[in-house]
């Protein structure tokens, strides 16, 4: 009899707690539905992006456009009625492209074909007359040692390893060849090269060169060589031409210049938590962009989606338990100064960060998130899968997060990155066609709502290390 009573008691408890869990889940579903409705019916992110892209344009660190973006986004955050909005000073590099670059392939005296190039960010200029030399084609940094100084000295090194097209994850394909862009000049100069040309990081065949950051390391200024990217169509043409005439000449001229560092700002807005005001969760993107396009996908989209998260919380009258911040980081593209500054200040002020989410993969249809965290927190994240299913969000994987929030990593904070569909991202990445017309309003708004939903769940349930304090 006692066993029967015990069994009945356990069943009753299971029913009570099961019913409670169901109600909690239903409440979460309703809140998330409300977030998506508000974003899709009354979204603001697309209008913000329109202004950033079409009224301001490319926002290279240290430029007038970057400072205009700082002032504009601060003003827009002020309008949201947040508890705090402020600018966080940060010193950033200043590099300018100068007059448009010019290049051609010369197969015989007087016989040449113009090709499409752009200087890599941080590169030195050529001489005022330009640079002309023979070319040696390689498939990556590892080939330099094989050819050696004897074959490389006095030549332009042409890095022609393409992104691997059969990789479904295009960021993996990008990671497989971006080292030749970043370190190509530094390494080629060690063998006496006079310049480098890098195949654009692009899966599509087109005539658009794609810029991006490069580094000389600690190389003396006198040893630095100019570096440019060439479009994929012209890279193929150059490679074919070298096959027919190995001693052809390549000419390019670029006028870029490096200046002393200048002051800029991270833009920060906060809704102060009503239970744990001294525990922080952040959402953000980087406000700077390259100068060839207007930076709509990289990363205007991430900035306006992050602003939208806090706007949505205000609109649905959600009062977060923890303090929620939006951080628009400056200088991700060519220095990561903004992300490092934010983490440095957080550490100095002994601010406890529990969760950070970054959107820096374009404004395409959201698929889910990647997380840099432990298995305990990831198990909690996986328990939320069903809440995202109605919105076709299905990708929840352990992996990277975002460059700007990476400096916050301390073994406790959960880091996450929004993962949109990436198949078209590198068609636009760092190129002149990264423009507002390439962004679909509905896809952008879905991304903002998806981010807000994840932030809501983390705010409500906390991270694994903070769950006990949340329950109390």
Structure tokens at 388: 């995202």
Sequence-distant (6+) residues with CB within 8 A of 377 are 371, 414, 463, 464, 465
CB 184 within 8 A of CB 198: yes
Structure tokens at 13: 């408890």
d(CA 377, CA 414): 8
Q: Is 75 a catalytic residue?
A: no
d(CA 227, CA 122): 9
> Lowest-confidence range among 9-13, 333-337, 406-410?
9-13
Task: Say what the pTM is.
Answer: 0.92
28-32 average pLDDT score? 97
Sequence-distant (6+) residues with CB within 8 A of 71 are none
Q: C-alpha distances in angstroms, 144 versus 133, 199, 200?
A: 17, 16, 19
Per-residue confidence at 110, pLDDT binned at 50, 70, 90? confident
Cα angle value 295/296/299 (rounded, 5°): 70
pLDDT at residue 209 is higher than 60? yes
The chain-wide mean pLDDT, for the chain, equals 94
Spell 110-128 as b/e; 16+ CB within 10 A means b: eebeebbbbbbbbbbbbee
User: What per-residue confidence (pLDDT) applies to 22?
Assistant: 53
- 258 or 9: which leads in pLDDT: 258
**Number of CB atoms found within 10 A of residue 371's CB:** 22
User: What per-residue confidence (pLDDT) applies to 251?
Assistant: 98
Cα angle value 322/357/203 (rounded, 5°): 170
Sequence-distant (6+) residues with CB within 8 A of 4 are none
Structure tokens at 3: 């066993």
User: What per-residue confidence (pLDDT) applies to 386?
Assistant: 96
242-270 average pLDDT score? 97
pLDDT at residue 5 is higher than 70? no
pLDDT at residue 249 is higher than 60? yes
User: What per-residue confidence (pLDDT) applies to 25?
Assistant: 87
Active-site annotation holder among 76, 332, 358, 445: 332
Strand 102-108 relative to strand 111-114: parallel, antiparallel, unpaired?
antiparallel
**Number of CB atoms found within 10 A of residue 357's CB:** 27
Residue with tokens 């994987």: 397
pLDDT tens for each residue of 134-144:
999 999 999 99
CB 211 within 8 A of CB 290: yes
């Amino acid at each position: 009899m006692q066993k029967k009573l015990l069994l009945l008691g356990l069943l009753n408890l299971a029913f009570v707690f099961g019913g409670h869990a169901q109600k909690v889940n239903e409440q979460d579903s309703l809140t998330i539905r409300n977030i998506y409705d508000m974003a899709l019916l009354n979204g603001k992110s697309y209008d913000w992006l329109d202004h950033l892209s079409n009224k301001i344009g490319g926002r290279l660190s240290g430029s007038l456009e970057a400072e205009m973006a700082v002032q504009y986004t601060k003003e827009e955050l002020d309008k949201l009625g947040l508890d705090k909005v402020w600018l966080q000073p940060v010193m950033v590099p200043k590099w300018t492209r100068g007059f448009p670059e010019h290049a051609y392939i010369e197969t015989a005296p007087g016989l040449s074909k113009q090709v499409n190039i752009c200087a890599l960010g941080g590169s030195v200029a050529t001489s005022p007359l330009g640079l002309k030399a023979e070319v040696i084609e390689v498939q990556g940094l590892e080939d330099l040692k094989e050819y050696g100084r004897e074959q490389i000295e006095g030549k332009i090194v042409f890095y022609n390893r393409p992104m691997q097209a059969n990789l479904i994850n295009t960021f993996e394909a990008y990671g497989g060849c971006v080292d030749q862009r970043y370190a190509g000049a530094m390494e080629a100069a060690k063998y006496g090269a006079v310049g480098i040309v890098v195949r654009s990081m692009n899966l599509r065949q087109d005539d658009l060169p794609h810029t991006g950051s490069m580094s000389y390391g600690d190389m003396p200024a006198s040893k630095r060589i100019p570096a440019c990217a060439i479009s994929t169509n012209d890279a193929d043409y150059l490679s074919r031409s070298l096959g027919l005439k190995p001693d052809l000449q390549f000419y390019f001229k670029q006028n870029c210049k490096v200046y002393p560092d200048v002051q800029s700002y991270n833009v920060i807005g906060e809704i102060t938590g009503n239970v744990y005001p001294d525990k922080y969760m952040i959402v953000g993107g980087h406000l700077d962009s390259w100068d060839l396009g207007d930076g709509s996908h990289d990363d205007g989209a991430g900035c306006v989606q992050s602003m939208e998260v806090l706007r949505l919380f205000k609109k649905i009258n959600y009062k977060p338990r923890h303090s929620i911040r939006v951080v628009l980081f400056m200088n991700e593209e060519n220095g990561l100064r903004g992300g490092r500054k934010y983490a440095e200040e957080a550490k100095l002020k002994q601010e406890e960060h529990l969760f950070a989410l970054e959107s820096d993969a374009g404004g395409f249809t959201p698929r889910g998130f990647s997380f840099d965290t432990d298995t305990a927190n990831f198990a909690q994240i996986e328990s939320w899968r069903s809440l995202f299913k109605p919105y076709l969000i299905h990708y929840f994987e352990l992996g990277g997060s975002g460059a700007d929030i990476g400096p916050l990593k301390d073994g406790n904070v959960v880091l996450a990155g929004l993962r949109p569909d990436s198949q078209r991202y590198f068609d636009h990445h760092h190129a002149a066609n990264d423009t507002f017309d390439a962004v679909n309003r509905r896809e952008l708004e879905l991304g903002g709502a998806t981010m807000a939903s994840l932030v809501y769940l983390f705010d409500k349930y906390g991270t694994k290390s903070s769950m006990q304090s949340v329950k109390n």
